[in-house]
Every structure is written in structure tokens, then in C-alpha cells.
Structure 1
Amino acid sequence: MTSLLEWGLPADRAELAVLAVHGRGQDPAFMCALARRLGPAPVRFFAPEAENNTWYPLSFLEPVERNQPALDRSLRAVETSLDRLAQAGFGGQRVVLWGFSQGACLLSHLVLTAPRPLAGLVLFTGGYIGGTPPSGAALDGVPAVMRSIEDDPWVPRHRVEETAELLRRAGAKVDLRIDPGTEHIVTDEACAAATELLTTVAARS
């Protein structure tokens, strides 16, 4: 069973759960450190860990089948994590998915191929996986914050923009911003936007 690192408010005091999914070569501690850059919000964080710190072996731009079977295994790990959140009292309407880099790609693929109720979506520097745009999502009214860097070395701008458009077509309310630069980073503005989403969604729950 996938282990989950937890931090934030106690579950009985949190309005939302955030499933925080790390990138390639990272671990849950990276997301915990990144969360410290967010402002206060009434949430509890849960972070799964990829096997060998990698959710799938190749670039997310490669055809889906080239990243199998690791991709399906990782998607199941996220699904299992969501099941555990539900058992802890956080059904889909009280869960925000948050990913960075490979984690954002994994979550993009999940929400665009396996419809589910969600409270919100935060995708830092990522996009859908594979060569063919996925379909079948139903994200009516789900707020989504997407942030990336113009010339990120791993994630091309066009794929982030294509993913944002797919999410919009699925009904999500997408806030997309791509800042100039060449580094694989999370900006302070991105952290502020994520905090605003969390506090706004929590106030509605």
C-alpha cells in the first residue's frame, strides 16, 4: 500500500484535504517544503511517494504505452490514496489535487481520463501524458490553477496550454499563467494563486 506523508491541520479541523504529488526525483518531503511557501489555509495535506521517486520512466510527451506499466501502477497509487482520503472523511468534493512537474502530469492525465468529483486542481508545470489528447473528463465548475515557465527545460509551453484548453472543454474554470524564464521552478505568484484557490474553496465547503 502506498504510504502517505501527512501534515497541516488535524483531519477533524480541516475543511479540505490536499493530495500533493511530487515530481521526478523528488519525494513527499519536497511537497511538504513547497507547502510552506503557501499562505495559511484550513487544509490537511497528504502526499504519496512514487516507487524509486519516479512515477513513470520516460518523458510525458512520449506515447502512453511507452510509459507502461509504470504509468498505470502510479495512477492506481493515486486512486488508492484518494480512497484513503475518503475513508478519513474527505470525499471528492473536499479534495484538491496538487502536483508539480511529473506529479502535475500524472494528475492531469488522471482527471482528463477518469472523471471524479473534485473540489479543485493545482497543476504546477505539467500537462497531459502521451501523444494523443485524452477525452472523457467531466469537471463542471471545478476551479483549476495552472502555472508554468515560458522556456521550462522539461515541459513545453504548448503542452501546458493544450492541457488548459482540454480542462476548459471539460468544464473546469482554469486560471492559467505562464511566466518568462528558463528554470524548472515554482514562483511566489504560483504559490499565492494556489493559496487563494484553497481558501476560496474551503470557504464554500
Structure 2
Amino acid sequence: MTPVLAEWGAPADRAALAVLAVHGRGQDPAFMQATASRLDTASVRFFAPEAEGNTWYPLSFLEPVERNQPALDRSVRVLEASLDRLAGAGFDRVWGFSQGACLLSHLVLSAPRPVAGLVLFTGGYLGTAPPVPAGQGLCGVPVVLRSIEDDPWGPRHRVEETAALLRQAGAEVDLRIDPGTDHIITDEACATATRLLNAAAVAEAP
């Protein structure tokens, strides 16, 4: 499988960091591009896959994993192939940026692989039973995890449980949950993501 990826940002031959931008339900790469415009990241190139029907899996991420199959496994394969493609283009470590944070959380907790870091906006692991991280597969990986207190789609307890699992896997998690009832990405979340992306770009620069 070779996914088609939308691309934008710094020219590929001059980018210091690749960002895999995974959209949420009912969204598409254009939404992620608009969100990325809120980040001041001059040396980053973004790559965004698109879910079939703009949905990575059919039901809530709180449902048992098997109820979101086979779409969930197909979507995980799309992300894995996307990461492989970025690695093949010369980006040996990848930063995941997503409001489709549930799918990325599922991927990195179920099968950790080298990443420069993670930005997860409003989401958490999939299913009713938390995954058990195998060892310290995310050792030292910086994570920005943001949500809203009463977000209608992402319960606070699941976001906090996901932060704990990421820490168990060795990640360095910056968790913040702001008051409110809207499903939004705050300016503070974008500013924090910008700082971490730019720090990673400097670290990755030749």
C-alpha cells in the first residue's frame, strides 16, 4: 500500500523535520493544513494522509476495538505506510501531529516506533481495555497532549489515562486540560506545539 499524501510547508530538500498530520472524523488534509497555518514552523514539511470517507473507523474510540474493525486495522496500515514513506524520503524520525489523536495514540502504544515526538489534540487510546506498553518504547519522546474539560467527544478521564500510559512507555508528557465545553484546538496548544516542533527541527538539522 502506498498512500497518497498531501504535502505543504518547507521544501522537501530543505526541511529539517517531517510532520505526519492525521485528521479527525469528518475532516481531511485541508483541515490539517489550515490548522498548521496557526503554527510558526518555517523548517517543517507536513504530510497528510486522507481516510476513506473522511473517517478512520466507524464508531466512537471508546467502543471495544473489535467493533471498529476492519476499518481500524486498515487505517493503522495507512499510518504505518505513511511513516515508512517519510523515512524513505530521508526523514529518519517523524513527528506526529493530529486531531485524529486517537488513531496515533493507538499506533504508538500498540507498536512503538522511533518518532521525534507527538502532538495529540483531544484524544486517547482506543477500546475498553488499556493497552499495556511493552517496555520503554517511547523513552524520552516528548509529547504534547491537550484537551478540553468537557469536550463532547473526548472524555477527560480517557485523555488522562492515555497520558499515564505514554509515561509508562517512557514518554515525557506535557498534559494540559483547559476548561470549556467545545471541541477546539486552543491558541495555547498551538503555541506549545510550535515550540516543540521547532526544537525538534533544530535537533534534526544537519
TM-score normalised by L of structure 2: 0.96
* 1:119 maps to 2:120: no
Residue in 2 that maps onto 1:74: 75
Matching of residues 27-176 of structure 1 within 5 Å = 27-91=28-92, 93=93, 95-100=94-99, 103-137=100-134, 138-176=137-175
Residue in 1 that maps onto 2:199: 200
Q: Identity, % of aligned pairs?
A: 75
* 1:12 maps to 2:17: no
Alpha-carbon distance in structure 2 between the residues aligned to 1:140 and 1:32: 29
Q: Retained in 2: the 8 A contact 1:41–1:195?
A: no
Residue in 1 that maps onto 2:184: 185
Paired residues in the alignment total: 201
Alpha-carbon distance in structure 2 between the residues aligned to 1:18 and 1:196: 14
Residue identity matched to 2:55: T
Residue identity matched to 2:67: R
Alpha-carbon distance in structure 1 between the residues aligned to 2:114 and 2:193: 19
* Cα drift, residue 135 of structure 1: 1.8
* Cα drift, residue 40 of structure 1: 2.7
Alpha-carbon distance in structure 1 between the residues aligned to 2:141 and 2:29: 25
What RMSD, in angstroms, separates the aligned Cα atoms of the two structures? 0.8
Alpha-carbon distance in structure 2 between the residues aligned to 1:11 and 1:32: 16
Residue identity matched to 1:20: A
Q: Residue 178 of structure 1: SS of its match in structure 2?
A: strand
Q: Residue 96 of structure 2: SS of its match in structure 1?
A: strand
Q: Retained in 1: the 8 A contact 2:21–2:96?
A: yes
Alpha-carbon distance in structure 2 between the residues aligned to 1:119 and 1:75: 19
Alpha-carbon distance in structure 2 between the residues aligned to 1:49 and 1:108: 17
TM-score normalised by L of structure 1: 0.96
Q: Retained in 2: the 8 A contact 1:146–1:177?
A: yes
Q: Residue 177 of structure 1: SS of its match in structure 2?
A: strand
Q: Residue 97 of structure 1: SS of its match in structure 2?
A: strand
Residue identity matched to 1:38: L
Q: Retained in 1: the 8 A contact 2:41–2:197?
A: no
Alpha-carbon distance in structure 2 between the residues aligned to 1:120 and 1:40: 15
> Which runs of at least 4 in structure 1 moved beyond 2 Å after TM superposition?
none
Q: Residue 44 of structure 1: SS of its match in structure 2?
A: strand
Residue identity matched to 1:106: L
Q: Residue 73 of structure 2: SS of its match in structure 1?
A: helix
